[in-house]
Chain A
């Protein structure tokens, strides 16, 4: 595995292997603490994303490796007009693996043409964010003990929410998954996902406008933020941002083993009273993100068998 651009680049078997490695890391981290000694991860963040960058850096440091990079394009040659291809040609000479985030969709794919080292897409605009998807799959697998036979509700900004699109595609490969899309008409799941994926594969899905009407059926409720940066028009953002807020009252009728997920950061779409509820798993997701990124770095550097599992 040289590059990871789209979560669908990975086969179900490869995802299973990454989940196995991540679970093994969680079992005993100390065995992995020196596996990447003398290896360098470059975190190239052309747009700021503190938590994803810190997660990658924490993952590499936990493996005994080193990190270098930048956290916004403003101090780099990109601000002088350097192309992505040229930046990658230069930086890939300084490191063993790259994690790259860029505001332009498809930038990491362009980068792979020049990169001399493995490269991970850490988010490209509203397009792909594969390590978030892998993190979500790890969380579901750990919490539910399976990735099939589940009813998954997605709520909030389903139009621009790339985590929702990616996870929908990834979950569509497992058996007997029922999808429930909860969104206002303005932020519904894109037509292409419905036609090219859900209808084409004859998958079970429905679209509704309130959490209350479906909460008791769900095994997973995946909440999302209405993201300000995805709107060209601020008035549209202000009008829609408070549409769906999850509180304990809305969770009253849920299954006791429902899990509530969120890619974070949240604004106000989940009230803080939900945080201490055992169904809330969004902070576990963050933790899993670090372990999944450790697993991915190991796999992409070909070091996954350095520790006996």
Chain B
């Protein structure tokens, strides 16, 4: 299968196989007008199989969202067809409106206009907790 290289844009590499659509939705790529390639189950020496996303436009990427989804994703910035920068991600200290608190007793369930904020409670185990009620995020 052949997919054209992009000229100016972003390539997200080393996405865990099968997770590219989740990343696509979380980053709001459906709202872009440019070409976006979702490439699934690409052979990888490091990972066995991986997914790749190619976005044919320069845009501001929410690195916190991406780092939260998977800090092992590699972000490649492409300019004039050349790789100009590779960014390594980190687990963000907090995430805003990425997850919703599932605790029915949490104030976020009733207070209008309140952001759903989660903070990194345990880096090693990648545990995030609600800022308001400390309920743990149950990852899908």
Contacts and interface: CB of A to CB of B under 8 A. Distances in A.
B48 to A, nearest CB: 31
B136 A127 contact: no
Interface string A106-118: 1101100000000
Interface in B86-140: 103, 105-114, 121-122, 127, 130-134, 136
A103 B105 contact: yes
Contacts of B132: 105-107, 109-110
Given A104-B109, A125-B133, A192-B136, A110 B114 contact: yes
Contacts of B111: 83-85, 104, 107, 110
A276 interface: no
A299 to B, nearest CB: 25
A196 interface: yes
Contacts of A84: 107, 111
A125 B131 contact: no
B122 A107 contact: no
Interface residues of B, number: 20
Contact of A126 (B105, B131, B136): B105
A208 B110 CA distance: 38
Contacts of A105: 103, 105-107, 132-134
B30 to A, nearest CB: 31
B67 to A, nearest CB: 21
Contact of B107 (A110, A126, A192): A110
A279 interface: no
B105 A125 contact: yes
A102 interface: yes
A107 B109 CA distance: 11
B121 A106 contact: no
Contact of A106 (B113, B127, B130): B130
Contacts of B136: 192
B110 A104 contact: yes
A270 B74 CA distance: 60
15 contacts: A83-B111, A104-B106, A105-B106, A105-B107, A105-B132, A105-B133, A105-B134, A106-B130, A106-B132, A106-B133, A110-B111, A110-B114, A125-B105, A125-B133, A196-B121
Interface of B: 103, 105-114, 121-122, 127, 130-134, 136
Given A83-B111, A106-B108, A196-B127, 12 more contacts: A84-B107, A85-B111, A104-B109, A105-B106, A105-B107, A105-B133, A106-B107, A106-B130, A109-B132, A110-B111, A127-B133, A127-B134
